[in-house]
Each structure stands twice: as C-alpha cells, then as structure tokens.
C-alpha cells in the first residue's frame, strides 16, 4: 500500500469522527430544546407564566449565556411548539433527534398532519437533506404527489424490483429548468444536464448519472439513450427516454429495445436488469395501463411538470383521498 492511500485512510477516520461528533452534538442540542420547550409548556399550562415571562427569560439567557445562540423569545416559543407537537408521539419523537433544529422547524412550520411530518422526517434522515433541499421537497408537494400517485409500472418491474414503487414517482416537477414556452426534446435534455443536481434531488439521491445520449451499437447502427443513470438501491441501470408530448404506445417498443441492448452489452454481471422510464409531458392513464399490461420489459411511464404544483389543491385532493380510504395509515410509505 502506498503512502497516499494510507493518508486517505487516516482522512476517512477523521471524517467519520467528525460526522459522529456532529451527530452527538445535534442530539444533545435537540434534547436541550425539547426540555426547555417542556418546561415552558408546563409553566404556561399551569398559568404560572405568560408571554411577558418568556420574553424576560429570553433576555436573561442572552445575558447570562452570551456564548449560546438561539434563545430569542421567538425561538423559545418554537421550542414549546416543538415539544407539544411530538411529546405524546412515541413514533416521531426519536426521529426529530436525527435531524437539525433548522430542518425540524421547517417541517414543523410547513406541515400539518402527523403522517406528513413522519414522511419528511424519514426523508430528511434517509436522503440527508439540506435546508434548501427539504424546503424544495415540501414546496413541490412531494408528500401529496407520493400519496396521490398512480404509478404506471409494467408487471416485469414489480417482479424484478419489488421496491420500485418506492423509488419512482408518477409525477416529477422540473420547475428549475427555466424552459421557454416552446421547446424541443433536445432543449429539455440540455436543461436537465445543466441542472443535474436539482434533477437528481427530484429523482432521488440514489441515482448516479452515467451519461447523456448514451451510445448503444447494435449491428451496424448506433442508437442513443437520452439519459442513463444507475440506481444504487435497485442496483441497476435506469434509461430515461424524454418526450415533450403525450404518451403513445409505440414509445414503449423503442424503450424495450434500449433495455435489451443495455442488458446484453452494458450491464455488469452482478447488476440487476435495467429499468426504463418514458418521461412525457402528459399521459392517459388507461392508455398507459393497456400498453404496459403485456410488456415483458421492466418499464414505466411518468409525466413531468415544468412549474410547481398548486400545493393547496393537492392537499384538498389528499383530504378527499383520506375520506375514501380506511384506515389512512395503510397508505403511508413504509420505513
């Protein structure tokens, strides 16, 4: 082993120690805010304290603990709200200690239902979302889209990749592309490449980019996959065929040809069969269902939007969904 590789091992140990230390500090900080919130909540419920005393507490803490930040009156009230939101919930209270105080406040202020909070808590933990990334997922109504999705997967996808329904979405939001009113498939592909980080955030952080217009040589001809990714969770290549119009059944034949070529010539021996996504501007669910029902390839059809969904409208639709579904908890994504 050369010296540089040995140095890399030492640096890896340091990075692991730093991550562990940061996590421990964060847990202690959340515990502190939890206890402060509990103390204030109990005092106010007992009519011992009012708004004026909380303001006085803030000034006292800032004066006596000047090196500690985050004790404004507003933040103290947030600690109370934080404690009251989770103290009786044995399922969620351990999760809040796994993410930062900033991300906890975002989830607390931007969500209303317990299942929605659980969804974003688990998402933030699993995807290690930053503040900006978490805000974008909530603002793009990620939870509502997942709950209301009608995923169009071929039987082969479900057979080969049973967890595929947890990986892929029925609707994607590409508001970050800044596309003109009229655009081509090439414009769409180039815009995605220029905004690859946001694109992968929308698709999921387990997607790794392999290439654009990925060349496949079959016989004497070259064919090109619009976008090729690898999914670490599914351990397979994911081919994306971009369309700027409505789904048509004939699109499926070309995608299946790409998947066959990928599996024969590109897929490594330890990897699972490739999955293909037809990503189109719109789709008729019944047409997609018919087209995929006899497909022998692991393919799916999703649509995309170039602007954010109306979150309030999706919330209303989800409320209607809950009224029709009993119990609602059966529709939560499993951990």
282 pLDDT more than 70: yes
Give the separation between CA 292 and CA 300, rounded to whole angstroms: 8
Q: How many CA atoms lie within 13 A of 270 on its CB side?
A: 2
Distance of CA 242 to the CA centre of its chain: 21
Q: What is the tens place of the pLDDT at every residue in 180-204? A: 889 999 999 999 999 999 999 899 8
Per-residue pLDDT band at 123 (split at 50, 70, 90): very high
Q: What is the pLDDT of residues 56-77, one digit of tens each?
A: 999 999 899 888 888 999 999 9
Q: Which residues pair with 207 in a beta bridge?
A: 231
Q: Is the pLDDT of residue 131 over 90?
A: yes
How far from 129 is each of 39, 93, 99, 101, 126, CA to CA, in Å? 30, 19, 9, 13, 8
- pLDDT band at residue 331, thresholds of 50, 70 and 90? very low
315 vs 40 pLDDT, higher one: 40
- Residue 169's CB: how many other CB atoms inside 10 A? 20
Report pTM. Answer: 0.73
- Stated as kind and residue range, the H or E segment containing 276 is strand 275-280
Average pLDDT on 98-125 reads 93
Nearest to 189 by CA among 211, 214, 212, 168: 212
Residue 36 has a CB neighbour count (10 Å cut-off) of 20
- State the Cα–Cα distance between residues 61 and 68, nearest whole angstrom: 8
Cα–Cα distance, 84 to 38 (Å, whole number) = 8
Residue 85 makes CB contacts below 8 A (sequence gap 6+) with 108, 117
pLDDT attached to residue 153: 80
Q: Which residues of 242-259 are buried (b: 16+ CB within 10 A; e: fewer)?
A: bbbeebeeebbeebbebb
Whole-number Å distance between alpha carbons of 127 and 289 = 31
pLDDT digits (tens, 9 = 90+) for 142-179: 888 877 766 678 888 888 888 887 788 888 999 899 89
The answer to whether 305 and 174 are in contact (CB under 8 A) is yes
Question: What does the alpha-carbon distance between residue 60 and residue 42 come to, in Å, rounded to a whole number?
Answer: 19
Listed in sequence order, the residues at least 6 apart from 108 whose beta carbon sits closer than 8 Å to its beta carbon are: 78, 81, 82, 85, 117
Residues in Cβ contact with 102 at an 8 Å cutoff, skipping those fewer than 6 apart: 131
CA dist., res. 58 & res. 76, Å (int)? 7
Instruction: Say yes or no to pLDDT of 279 above 50.
Output: yes
Task: For residue 229, name the pLDDT band (cuts at 50, 70, 90).
Answer: very high
Give the helix ranges, DSSP H, for the chain. 3-45, 51-64, 73-86, 101-110, 114-127, 131-139, 142-148, 155-160, 164-167, 185-194, 196-203, 251-265, 285-293, 311-324
Type and span of the H or E element at 177: none
Q: Among the listed ranges 132-136, 139-143, 316-320, which one has the minimum average pLDDT value?
A: 316-320
- Give the model's pLDDT for residue 329: 45
Asked if 43 contacts 49 with a C-beta cutoff of 8 angstroms, the reply is yes
Would you say the C-alpha torsion 68, 69, 75, 81 has a positive or negative sign? Answer: negative
pLDDT, mean over the chain = 87
Q: Cis ω on the peptide bond leading into residue 306 (within 30° of 0)?
A: no
């Amino acid at each position: 082993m050369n010296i540089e590789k040995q140095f890399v091992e030492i640096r890896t140990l340091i990075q692991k120690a730093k991550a562990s230390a940061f996590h421990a500090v964060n847990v202690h900080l959340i515990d502190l805010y939890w206890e402060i919130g509990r103390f204030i909540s109990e005092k106010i419920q007992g009519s011992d304290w009012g708004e004026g005393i909380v303001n006085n507490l803030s000034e006292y803490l800032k004066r006596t603990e000047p090196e500690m930040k985050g004790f404004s009156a507003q933040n103290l009230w947030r600690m109370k709200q934080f404690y009251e939101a989770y103290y009786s919930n044995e399922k969620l209270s351990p999760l809040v200690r796994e993410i930062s105080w900033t991300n906890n406040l975002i989830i607390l202020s931007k969500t209303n239902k317990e299942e929605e909070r659980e969804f974003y808590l688990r998402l933030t933990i699993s995807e290690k979302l930053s503040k900006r990334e978490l805000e974008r997922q909530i603002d793009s109504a990620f939870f509502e889209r997942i709950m209301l999705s009608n995923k169009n997967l071929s039987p082969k996808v479900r057979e080969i990749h049973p967890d595929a329904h947890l990986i892929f979405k029925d609707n994607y939001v590409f508001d970050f592309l800044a596309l003109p009113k009229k655009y081509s498939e090439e414009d769409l592909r180039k815009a995605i490449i220029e905004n690859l980080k946001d694109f992968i955030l929308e698709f999921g952080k387990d997607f790794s980019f392999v290439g654009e217009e990925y060349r496949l040589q079959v016989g004497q001809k070259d064919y090109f996959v619009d976008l090729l990714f690898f999914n670490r969770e599914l351990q397979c290549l994911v081919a994306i065929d971009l369309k700027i119009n409505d789904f048509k059944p004939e699109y499926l034949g070309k995608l299946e040809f790409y998947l066959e070529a990928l599996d024969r010539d590109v897929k490594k021996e330890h990897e699972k069969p490739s999955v293909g996504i037809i990503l189109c501007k719109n789709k008729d669910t019944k047409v997609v269902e018919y087209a995929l029902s006899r497909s022998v390839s692991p393919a799916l059809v999703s649509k995309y939007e170039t602007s954010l969904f109306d979150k309030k409208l999706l919330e209303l639709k989800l409320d209607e969904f809950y009224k029709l579904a009993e119990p609602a908890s059966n529709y939560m994504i499993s951990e």
